[in-house]
Structure 1
Amino acid sequence: MIAPSILSADFARLADAADSVSRADWLHVDVMDAHFVPNLTIGLPVVKSLHAATDVPLDCHLMIDDPDRWAPGYAEAGAANVTFHVEAAADPVQTARAIRKAGALAGLSVKPGTPLEPYLEVLREFDTLLVMTVEPGFGGQEFRAEVLPKVRLAREHVRAGHLRLFVEVDGGISADTIEQAAEAGADVFVAGSAVFGADDPAAAVEALRRRARTAMNV
């Protein structure tokens, strides 16, 4: 699954950007509050408007403080998947349950420096694991292959039946790196500049999908 990140799109033309990738699986929306990460992007009102403007399911990645309070609202606004950071959550299990109750999939994200092992039991409550392959906060960073063991670990637990979730990667995903992530076990790929920086975003989505499928032998 390919999830273009609108962080790399023209914020004055978000509806057009969404339309240009109408064949994508998800549309990745980075919500930043300038507290949890040193950047400020968009919030709930824009997500509501974007949901009304596109049929592509919204994949909201909340890089914010106090996600326990705010995350369910994004599900209520129509997001298909709402992911928050374990590093910011006081009660990840209850927040996941609240997101699901509001009608969305629940996702848990971990920063590059956060180990996955302490959260393997918690992940039973989630539909998506988002492994950050860059430090969250800004687009355009270089892919960090040293985090791929976390992707492999998650995939091992999915294959063993211990977990049932999507394994998503976000950060530096491009034609040059998507195969590494796919081989490690990721099945959802967030790509920003590799899509919206291309002359033809729709073609870029399809090219990334082909590379991932080749690496996954699908």
Structure 2
Amino acid sequence: MFARFFHDRLDFAADALCRAAEAAGGPIIEGHALVSGEALDTVLRRYAEAHGIADRRAAASDWSKFFFARLIIPALVIQCSSGQRLDLDPASWGAYCREEGTIAHFVFDADPLGPPAPGDASSLVDAVMTPIVTALATDCGLSPRVFASNAAVYYVWALDQLGAQAQITPAQLAPARALLDASTRPDGGRNPFHAALQAAGSGRARRRTGASVPPAVGSAARSVG
């Protein structure tokens, strides 16, 4: 569906957002049930058991890294490459999970690409990130900033990969890069990427790019196929 946008170290995520997929060995969960927290116990228990993690907080933080890697990286690649808005309304997709509870595919009922809207992160932040960060924090008692910081790592890494590949122009990347330094989005909405990078130290987060592969990306890449 979007494979034409994915190259080199990003090609592992080419089928993460799709219109059809086979079951990946685990449950298929409606998007709303996942981001609202209703189905979190299902995936977190599976992840903790598969990896021998007794601490619910550790399991939730680790699982979130796989979730954000599987969603944010392809969403950013698709939006920057197409210059179009990506509608991530959880009512329009289902999560096809692996046996261990991580997400293999976000399967959409219809094409999620919308009108031109370079760098528009409103759907990603408002429809998915905000509710699932809240649900994860409520479930395990960790600060929402922990999960927002996990998400920001993959946003920065994907941007740097796109810049290094030079498949698209700096101008196409500029609206997405602007979110690293702005406390609010162009539409006035909240920007959790900026707050998370400020809290963690943007230099440290940015150093986890380039040759360094962030947690979950390497594992996700190895699981393809």
| TM-score (norm. length: structure 1) | 0.31
Question: Between Structure 1 and Structure 2, which shows a larger proportion of helix residues?
Answer: 2
Question: Between Structure 1 and Structure 2, which shows a larger proportion of strand residues?
Answer: 1
| TM-score (norm. length: structure 2) | 0.31
Higher relative contact order (CA 8 A, sep 6+): 2
